[in-house]
């Protein structure tokens, strides 16, 4: 085969935008290069060697059969080529005398007539049969050994192209599946975080508006009873005074808890001021908490502000309560429509490879990042402190 013809065929096959186009190019090129009136390229699609004809090329001599679209059923002589992965070359007389010849079956009246036959398998790199290329009715004479060699070279090129196209198609399918699964996880995480935040708000309102008010009412009743006690009941007066103090402390604790469940400072002051207020409150535990954040952080979407606040809250609480940190730095920045939060502590750290140590807090922070279409990471080693980072878009992705 002339090198120029091979090179041109290779370039045309490589330039095909999809498998269907590539198969048609292969079919037309082999017919043109070898010089035959009929060319068919088929792919193996089932274990019984039934073929799906993906491309056909017929000269004007067979123009009347260009609409022929019967699918082979796997019983033809071509399945010998597919089973053995060996080429077959025959004259018409040899073809009709071959023990595997079955004619054209039920579609015989509609099938284009043949004159001689040359078939070469399409073989994958691992030896699997991919299909075959068939030629019939050579322009002049019968098919030769040189024709078979030429077709074998083209079949090898086509096999490589077919496997490449199949691999690309499988990759695209896997990427589509991964994107779909990621979107589903994103939506589920959004629903979970929203439901959890709504429950926090409900509990916060219930604690503030119901439980706290009822306890205040009890405290008032205790105070009224104290005022009615006689001087000789000083012991009971002292006991009721302690009950009143316990009640007032409990009311204050519940108010603080309600505020944590629905942080008003976040709603009223914005993210930067809300984080400073959170840090100031936790500094009372003895840990030194520093804030690095611009004073002009723009108001973000509600979901984004709440998520960043909750991740910061969880990271700071972990550093104070569990890591025994003496120094904590919270850094907040907004760069290129992207929010970056970092909480770094000098606490005891932990084995980040042991996921059993992550606990509910880390899982919750990851869920919030996922719900925003963001990223979450934890860097830590035993005895070397912990760094928690959250990256998310200014406006969270829609579900």
Tokens of 300: 């973000």
Contact 45, 79 (CB under 8 A): no
- Residue that finishes a domain, picked among 141, 173, 205: 173
Mean pLDDT for 305-333 is 88
Q: What is the pLDDT of residues 215-229, one digit of tens each?
A: 666 666 667 666 766
Per-chain mean pLDDT for the chain: 80
Q: Nearest-CA neighbor of 208 among 196, 200, 198?
A: 200
Same domain as 282, residue 135: no
Contact 263, 273 (CB under 8 A): no
Q: What is the pLDDT of residues 12-63, one digit of tens each?
A: 887 888 888 888 999 999 999 999 999 999 888 766 656 676 789 999 999 9
384 vs 237: CA distance, rounded Å: 53
> 263-267, 290-294, 330-334, 391-395 — which is least confidently predicted?
263-267
160 vs 168: CA distance, rounded Å: 12
- Residue that finishes a domain, picked among 153, 173, 193: 173
345 vs 358: CA distance, rounded Å: 16
> 86-90, 195-199, 260-264, 390-394 — which is least confidently predicted?
260-264
> Residue 339 falls within a domain, yes or no?
yes
Q: Flag whether the pTM goes above 0.75.
A: no
Contact 61, 141 (CB under 8 A): no
Residue 399 has a pLDDT of: 45
Element (H, E) at 377: strand 375-380
> Residue 245 falls within a domain, yes or no?
no
Is residue 311 over pLDDT 70? yes
Q: What is the pLDDT of residues 123-162, one digit of tens each?
A: 999 999 999 999 999 999 999 999 999 999 999 989 998 8
What percent of the chain clears pLDDT 70, i.e. is strictly above it?
74
Residue 397 has a pLDDT of: 46
> Residue 248 falls within a domain, yes or no?
no
Residue 341 has a pLDDT of: 93
What is the separation, in whole angstroms, between the first and last Cα of the chain? 57
Residue 215 has a pLDDT of: 64
> Residue 235 falls within a domain, yes or no?
no
> Residue 240 falls within a domain, yes or no?
no
Same domain as 148, residue 13: yes
81 vs 122: CA distance, rounded Å: 9
Is residue 258 over pLDDT 70? no
> Residue 190 falls within a domain, yes or no?
no
Helices 271-283 and 302-317 pack at an angle, to 10 degrees, of 20
Enumerate long-range contacts of 392-395, CB under 8 Å, 24 or more apart: 392/304, 392/307, 392/308, 392/338, 392/339, 393/304, 393/337, 393/338, 393/339, 394/298, 394/300, 394/301, 394/304, 394/334, 394/337, 394/338, 394/339, 395/300, 395/301, 395/304, 395/337
Same domain as 124, residue 15: yes
Q: What is the pLDDT of residues 329-342, one digit of tens each?
A: 999 998 888 889 99
Indicate which CATH number applies to the domain containing 284.
3.30.565.10
Residue 218 has a pLDDT of: 66
Q: What is the pLDDT of residues 279-301, one digit of tens each?
A: 888 887 788 999 898 877 777 77
| Domain span holding position 86 | 3-173
Residue 384 has a pLDDT of: 87
Indicate which CATH number applies to the domain containing 140.
3.30.450.40
38 vs 307: CA distance, rounded Å: 66
325 vs 386: CA distance, rounded Å: 9
Mean pLDDT for 65-91 is 84
Report, in angstroms and rounded to the nearest whole number, the Rg of the chain calculated over CA atoms.
39
Q: Which range, 69-83, 201-215, 318-332, has the best average confidence (pLDDT)?
A: 318-332
């Amino acid at each position: 085969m002339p090198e120029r013809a091979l090179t041109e065929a290779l370039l045309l096959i490589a330039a095909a935008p999809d498998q269907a186009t590539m198969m048609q190019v292969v079919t037309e090129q082999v017919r043109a290069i070898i010089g035959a009136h009929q060319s068919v390229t088929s792919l193996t699609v089932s274990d019984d060697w039934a073929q799906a004809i993906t491309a056909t090329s017929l000269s004007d001599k067979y123009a009347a059969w260009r609409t022929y679209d019967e699918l082979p059923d796997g019983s033809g002589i071509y399945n010998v080529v597919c089973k053995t992965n060996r080429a077959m070359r025959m004259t018409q007389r040899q073809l009709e005398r071959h023990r595997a010849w079955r004619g054209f079956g039920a579609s015989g009246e509609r099938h284009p007539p043949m004159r001689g036959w040359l078939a070469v398998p399409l073989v994958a790199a691992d030896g699997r049969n991919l299909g075959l290329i068939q030629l019939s009715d050579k322009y002049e004479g019968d098919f030769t050994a040189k024709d078979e060699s030429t077709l074998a070279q083209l079949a090898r090129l086509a096999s490589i192209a077919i496997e490449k196209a199949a691999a690309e198609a499988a990759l695209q399918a896997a990427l589509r599946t991964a994107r779909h699964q990621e979107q589903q996880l994103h939506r589920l995480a959004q629903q979970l975080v929203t439901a959890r935040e709504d429950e926090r708000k409900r509990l916060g309102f219930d604690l503030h508006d119901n439980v706290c008010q009822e306890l205040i009412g009890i405290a008032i009743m205790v105070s009224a009873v104290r005022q009615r006690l006689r001087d000789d009941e000083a012991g009971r007066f002292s006991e009721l005074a302690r009950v009143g103090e316990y009640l007032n402390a409990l009311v204050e604790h519940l108010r603080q808890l309600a505020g944590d469940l629905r942080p008003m400072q976040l709603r009223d002051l914005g993210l930067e001021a809300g984080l400073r207020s959170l840090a100031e409150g936790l500094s009372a535990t003895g840990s030194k908490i520093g804030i690095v954040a611009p004073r002009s952080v723009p108001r973000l979407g509600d979901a984004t502000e709440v998520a960043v606040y909750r991740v910061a809250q969880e990271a700071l609480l972990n550093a104070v309560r569990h890591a025994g940190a003496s120094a904590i730095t919270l850094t907040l920045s907004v760069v290129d429509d992207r929010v970056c939060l970092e909480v770094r502590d000098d606490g005891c750290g932990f084995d980040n490879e042991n996921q059993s140590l992550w606990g509910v807090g880390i899982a919750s922070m990851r869920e919030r990042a996922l719900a925003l279409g963001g990223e979450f990471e934890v860097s830590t080693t035993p005895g070397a402190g912990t760094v928690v980072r959250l990256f998310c878009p200014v406006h969270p992705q829609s579900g």
